[in-house]
Structures are given as C-alpha cells and as structure tokens.
Amino acid sequence: MLEFNKDRFLSLLCAAPKIEPVIEEPEHSEYVQSLIDTFKKEGRLDLTEINFDAFDLCHVTPEGYAAARPAGIASDRTKGRRKRT
C-alpha cells in the first residue's frame, strides 16, 4: 500500500486550478419583477404568457445560492454524471 506523501499532496493542491462558480451572480430583472408583481396582485400567473427568452438563469437565482454548498461538492443528484460538451 502506498504511503501518504504530504509534500506531494501540498504541491498538487497548490497546482490545482481555481474553482470557478457554476452559475453567474444573481442580477435583478425588471421583467421577472413584473411577473412576481403580477402573481402577487392576481394570485396566479399564466405560464403560457411568460417570455422565457426575456431573462437568464442569473435573473432567477436566489441571493447567496452559490454559497449554500461549498464549491466542488456535488449534490447526490449530480454525482456520477458526465459533463456535457
């Protein structure tokens, strides 16, 4: 059995690339805000009327979402999945 080499481990750790966030930082969207306001006012929202091309994922991402789980740790749903290319 191989013995743990602390110096080798530290050199590999220092050489590892920086972990980048998977998603962009949340941004405010007037369009998404209008949908929320409509839902609050009317109590319902017709999904067929939503223009899904009018906003991006960053417009519907909750504040602090990226910090909810430490970077690099996959949830049970994503373990074992291959990256899309």
Let me know the angle formed at the C-alpha of 76 by 17 and 58, rounded to the nearest 5 degrees: 60
Count CB neighbours of 26 within 10 A. 16
pLDDT at 84 over 60: no
Extents of the domains making up the chain:
22-75
Residues 77/54, Cβ–Cβ less than 8 Å:
no
Interatomic CA distance for residues 47 and 32, integer angstroms: 13
- In this prediction the pTM is 0.52
pLDDT in tens, 46-68: 999 999 999 998 899 888 776 65
pLDDT in tens, 7-60: 999 999 888 888 777 777 889 999 999 999 999 999 999 999 999 999 998 899
